[in-house]
Amino acid sequence: MYPSVITKLFEKNKDYLAELRVYESNAPHVPKLLSHGKARTLDEHLWYITTNRVKGKAYMDESDFSPALLGKALAEFHFSSLKDGKCLCHMDNQPKNILFDGAEYYFVDFSDSKYDTPETDVSHLLLFWAEEYPYMDFIRIAGCMLNSYQQVLSLNPDRWEKTVPKSIKRFDARRRMFNKRQASEQSEKNRNWLSAVI
């Protein structure tokens, strides 16, 4: 049912290099890099990356996903490259880019990745949840994720306070770009909690 490998093609060299940097880092919770390079096609402006395929599905498709396990996985991913307060950040951590194979979480699709503070990546991920969950469910799962994350890597309260408004602005701009609905009354309440939680 699942092929054992997956190959992704890139038209932009910068996207290829951003994604390659992550796979070459051997970070935890990332599929294993098998091969990469310039694609041999009539179009010489294509690059490829082949990795092992994660035999899982988008984590929010699971009715009982574990925010604690996901928080631990994200912290381990960040910690593996942490230097001077910055680390490799996914930056496109929408639900389809986080896969669960029944045992652990994997992060895929790193063409938007960059070095930034852990607070940037964590807050962006939690903004997806702020759109999806009622307030009490949101604070339960977000709190669980944050507690688990911080057992591996502490978040800085000052950076968090400065980062969350920037993450909201970026998140909303991306939603407008893809014609998604804008923040609801429910998500505004969730965002207010998120801004103050660390």
pLDDT at 183: 63
Tokens encoding 59: 């984590």
More confident call, 95 vs 115: 115
Burial class, 44, CB count within 10 angstroms (exposed 0-12 / middle 13-18 / buried 19+): exposed
Examine residue 102 and state whether it is found in any structural domain, yes or no: yes
Number of structural domains, the chain? 1
Examine residue 150 and state whether it is found in any structural domain, yes or no: yes
The boundaries of the domain holding residue 110 are 56-196
Rounded average pLDDT over 150-166: 97
Question: What is the C-alpha separation between 22 and 44, in angstroms, rounded?
Answer: 24
Examine residue 84 and state whether it is found in any structural domain, yes or no: yes
166 confidence band (pLDDT: 50, 70, 90): very high
CATH number of the domain enclosing 74:
3.90.1200.10
Q: What's the whole-number average pLDDT of the chain?
A: 92
Q: Which are the contacts of 22, defined by CB distance < 8 A and separation ≥ 6?
A: 30, 88, 110, 113
pLDDT at 3: 84
pLDDT at 185: 76
Asked whether residue 1 carries a pLDDT value surpassing 60, the answer given is no
Examine residue 80 and state whether it is found in any structural domain, yes or no: yes
User: Of 72, 59, 159, whose CA–CA distance to 118 is shortest?
Assistant: 159
Examine residue 160 and state whether it is found in any structural domain, yes or no: yes
Residues 120-135: tens digit of each pLDDT: 999 999 999 999 899 9
pLDDT at 117: 98
pTM of the model: 0.92
Residues 2-56: tens digit of each pLDDT: 589 999 999 999 999 999 999 999 999 999 999 999 887 666 789 999 999 998 8
Residues 71-107: tens digit of each pLDDT: 999 999 999 999 999 999 999 988 899 999 989 999 9
**Based on C-alpha coordinates, what's the Rg of the chain?**
17
Q: Dihedrals φ, ψ of 94, to 5°?
A: -70, 160
Distance separating the N- and C-terminal Cα atoms of the chain: 43
Examine residue 176 and state whether it is found in any structural domain, yes or no: yes
